Chains A and B, each alone.
Chain A
């Protein structure tokens, strides 16, 4: 979304008014042509059509130049605030004779027919033509102002929609984060059962396990509030989680976390990595009779941060592979799409010999 607004050239108010003036000019030429045809039909002299067209166009263009000059120059941008119809009507009344006279002068010059002198100008037929000009100008601005009103309403709707979308997007983000930060009751009770057991048989180890549980809970529950976190903190939380799982699974689990010092301060969305690690444990290693190993490795790759979660577990069975990795993976993908668009990705593939590899790539942002 942000990328989209940056890629479009920004519209200054001046540009907008120029565009509006050009729109109105186009409209005046079309209406002038209609007026010329109308007059020609009324006089019953088709040979005059060309002359009428030139005069009408000159009158129309002059009227638009005057009225838009005043309107857009003094009254402000009609896209933001409606112009009062009375003001436009008064302007039209004042403009009609001026535009008519000037149009005759300019048209006469173009056609080489000379121009009427100002003193001989206000004859009775000319007054009729001024009145006709006034009606034409009035009709034109009725159309123009109506169009502007429609544009204003549309713009307001658009803004309201954008606001609603932004609110909705934030809500979805919060919801997805919450979803990923959920602690499975089964996991919590099993961990507590182990803790309770260790208190009886190995109090020192129980103390260490309690530390890890606290760190895991702090990271997981804290993530429901924080939007992003440091890679070092995320790795700390993962280390705590794997420490808990290592007590539970005993010799069935071995693990390794590789985080280069340069990446310790890299920023990433909270609770993005942990579901991938939990996935590898729950679907890959825990159900495997002999267990196995898990490695979490972060590295910089061009301007991107690449994190690999590899396990030697059961691997991707047909259903998991066809679903793209299950709910946890789908939720993570959804978050990535909302946050980074095309600049981030998550792929799940079979491991070299066995197990599975989750590969997360996102823009590298240092704190």
Chain B
């Protein structure tokens, strides 16, 4: 079967040119789809399961990095996680960060020579995946052997390097969460919180006694919490480590957490799976 690529690029001319140049350099390559924004890219990637993704960084809706992060969390099934190449226009910050994290990226305007090198690398990696080369790590769910590729562990490592370290809270750490429940405000000591989960513009505060909502973004909340006790485990959740009973892989290979005092299980993004490795 021909290798298939998905291009996520909001500027139609650039998308057309990238598709054309890629096909010129790699005659067997099939362009499975061109997604006009990050959100569409995630959905189409999940539907089409391409072998590689070219993700523009600056896109409306979701950036290329956010799309990759979401895809890491949601990717499942037998298809190996796609190779990811980021595409970015001149931008000091991003380029520096990519270099530091050793991510695959190409600069816009895309030079054909640079793209040719990228194509070579992609072909070699895809050949390795197809042959089930030894040393291949896990798929996003860690279900090794099942078409996983060595690139994924590397990608997880690289993406983690890009994650911004939470800035120290200017106002100090929270000791009590004030959450509205109906017309009363519940005072919840942070140590009683089992986990926080992002819900649109709110954050759900889950305790053994029940749920409560606070109107705050998860990324604003994170720096106000004690980093030794509370850890981010996916894009949308922060867990209290003292309430985690165990971590295990489910049938699809996803890492999930069993919690004390709560019946549901919490999913862990591959980006944070290292927190639950055995000692």
A interface, CB within 8 angstroms of B: 185-186, 188-190, 192-194, 196-198, 200-201, 247-252, 286-289, 291
B259 CB → nearest A CB, Å = 34
B interface, CB within 8 angstroms of A: 10-14, 16-17, 20, 36-37, 39, 58, 60-61, 89-91, 108-110
Would B91 and A186 count as touching, CB distance under 8 A? yes
CB-CB nearest in chain A for B110: A193
Would B10 and A190 count as touching, CB distance under 8 A? no
**A194 interface neighbour in B11, B90, B91, Cβ under 8 Å:** B11
Would A201 and B90 count as touching, CB distance under 8 A? no
Would B13 and A250 count as touching, CB distance under 8 A? yes
A311 CB → nearest B CB, Å = 14
Would B14 and A194 count as touching, CB distance under 8 A? yes
Quick one: which of B11, B13, B14, B16 has the most chain A CB within 10 A? B13
CB-CB nearest in chain B for A202: B13
A250 CB → nearest B CB, Å = 4
Would A193 and B14 count as touching, CB distance under 8 A? yes
CB-CB nearest in chain A for B94: A186
Would B17 and A200 count as touching, CB distance under 8 A? yes
A286 to B59, CA, bound (A): 8
Would A194 and B13 count as touching, CB distance under 8 A? yes
10 shortest interchain CB distances as A-B pairs = A197-B17, A193-B109, A250-B12, A189-B90, A193-B108, A189-B89, A197-B13, A196-B109, A190-B89, A289-B61
A249 to B13, CA, bound (A): 9
Would A189 and B108 count as touching, CB distance under 8 A? yes
- Chain A residues with CB under 8 A of B14: 190, 193-194, 197, 248
A198-B13 CB under 8 A given contacts A189-B89, A193-B109, A288-B60: yes
A291 to B13, CA, bound (A): 16
**A193 interface neighbour in B12, B60, B89, Cβ under 8 Å:** B89
A190-B20 CB under 8 A given contacts A185-B90, A287-B60, A289-B61: no
Known: A193-B17, A250-B11. 19 other contacts (CB 8 A): A186-B58, A186-B89, A189-B89, A189-B90, A189-B108, A190-B11, A190-B14, A192-B109, A193-B11, A193-B14, A193-B109, A197-B17, A201-B20, A250-B13, A286-B60, A287-B60, A288-B60, A289-B37, A289-B61
